[in-house]
Amino acid sequence: MDNIEPAVRQARKANPAANSELLTARSVEANVFQSISDILSRSGEVRELTKEGKVKVVGAVYDIATGSVRWLGAHPEQSSLVFGKPRSDDPHAGHGGAAAHTAVAGAKATKANGSSHSESGNAGQSTPAGGGHGAVGLPTPQQAFEMLRDGNQRFFSGAPQHPHCDKERLASTAKGQHPYATVLSCADSRVPVERLFDQGIGDVFVVRFAGNVADTDEIASIEYATGHLGTPLLVVLGHSSCGAVSAVVGNAELHGCLPALVDNIQPAVARARNANPGLGGDPLIAAAIRANVFQSMNDLLANSPGVRKLVEAGKLRIVGGMYDLASGKVEWLRDPLTADGADPKPAAAPSAKPADAPQSSAEPAESAKDAHGEHDGHGGR
């Protein structure tokens, strides 16, 4: 939240008499420009590309009720941000800053970025109406898993249903969001999470970041989704030919903020090397990508007491998946280095008991068609 506070302060100062709804809307716009400022101030790479005219950075706000995008244009002070002296005293420089996208988008009545879906329109509520664990209509962890599994089956077999993509869905989700699963995935453009699971608007809370790493910002988004919105399933999704993991395996020379990103991946690469002595090239990259999925699970469980408690209580299930770019199929992973062949045992956090491994996703215990509430077996509600 510390990345958002400057934008809110700016909006308050510029709109001293604004009511809550107007102040939220102005804060969303200010936050879009704040993200643009953070990108251009912290990334010499993006700044140089912008100077050369190879990248255009613009702001936009998405209206969750209508589906329309309102383009805000360039930052009012973009010229000085691009050609002026970059900030050198920013305590948040490096991993955790805004991701550099051509368009930096917000969502009407709430904040969103390119790494995660927006929060619902229930601004100011700690737990959105209908959210939280035990909310009516949410499936069990196993049923939620089966919904995603079946959706991917439809996608890669060429029979997607494209549910929940109409005006009626826009109108219903504008009142609040009730996703049934959280997915931590890579930001790779070839990994369209909702499409590959054949889900629609409001079905899945997606946290996207290069290398599907679980660092502070990603964990915070996951805590919001699992703790406040009450999603009973979390999928950590890796994919074939992951460039971030490949860069670490190949000891590629990295610039800008990238070194701070890949330090999350290095333990996974080391683990893959140790488990596969003598392996190199593409086979080692493939092994490291899989190890990185479990590394993100461990990082999440070791650094989030809230998520760990939900797993211990049986309210949240965490599973790993590997998406194949060529076929469109998700392979549900078992960790070869754990004795039970299920999800990895989380690294222990200080003064905290690590959670037991959730049930293996490869052995479903109940059918999604038995989900209570309004859900159906295709992720519908």
For residue 375, is it within any domain? no
Where does residue 162 fall: left (phi above 0), alpha (psi -120 to 50 degrees), or beta otherwise?
Answer: left
354 shares a domain with 311: yes
12 shares a domain with 55: yes
Pick from 201, 200, 180: nearest CA to 137: 180
Please give the structure tokens belonging to residue 366. 């109940």
For residue 129, is it within any domain? no
How far is Cα 371 from Cα 239, in angstroms, rounded to an integer?
29
171 shares a domain with 317: yes
* pLDDT tens-digit map of 340-353: 333 444 444 433 33
156 shares a domain with 27: no
CB 180 within 8 A of CB 233: yes
How far is Cα 67 from Cα 166, in angstroms, rounded to an integer?
10
CB 43 within 8 A of CB 87: no
187 shares a domain with 299: yes
Could you give the number of structural domains in the chain? Answer: 2
For residue 377, is it within any domain? no
275 shares a domain with 198: yes
Domain of residue 331 covers 141-370
- Amino acid identity of residue 257, one-letter, is C
CB atoms inside a 10 Å sphere around CB 17: 6
For residue 286, is it within any domain? yes
- Domain edge (last residue) among 58, 85, 107: 107
* pLDDT tens-digit map of 280-321: 999 999 999 999 999 999 999 999 999 999 999 999 999 999
The domain that holds 347 is classified in CATH as 3.40.1050.10
Query: Which pLDDT score, from 0 to 100, does residue 2 have?
Result: 82
59 shares a domain with 147: no
What is the pTM for the complete model shown? 0.77
292 shares a domain with 149: yes
Residues of the chain with pLDDT under 50: 87-102, 109-131, 134, 136, 337-381
37 shares a domain with 158: no
Give me the DSSP letters along 274-291.
HHSTT--HHHHHHHHHHH
For residue 119, is it within any domain? no
Radius of gyration (Cα) for the chain, nearest Å? 21
- Domain edge (last residue) among 107, 130, 161: 107
CB 356 within 8 A of CB 313: no
- Quote the DSSP letter at residue 229: S
182 shares a domain with 273: yes
Pick from 242, 233, 195, 237: nearest CA to 214: 237
β-strand pairing of 58-62 with 103-107: parallel
153 shares a domain with 32: no
Query: Which pLDDT score, from 0 to 100, does residue 127 have?
Result: 32
Q: At what angle do helices 281-303 and 305-312 cross, to 10 degrees?
A: 90
How far is Cα 234 from Cα 219, in angstroms, rounded to an integer?
12
Within the chain, strands assigned E span: 58-62, 69-73, 103-107, 181-185, 204-208, 233-239, 317-323, 330-332
For residue 336, is it within any domain? yes
Helices (H), 179-280: 193-196, 216-223, 243-249, 258-262, 266-275
Which residue's entry shows tokens 């550099």?
100
Q: Tell me if residue 241 falls in helix, strand or coil.
A: coil
301 shares a domain with 156: yes
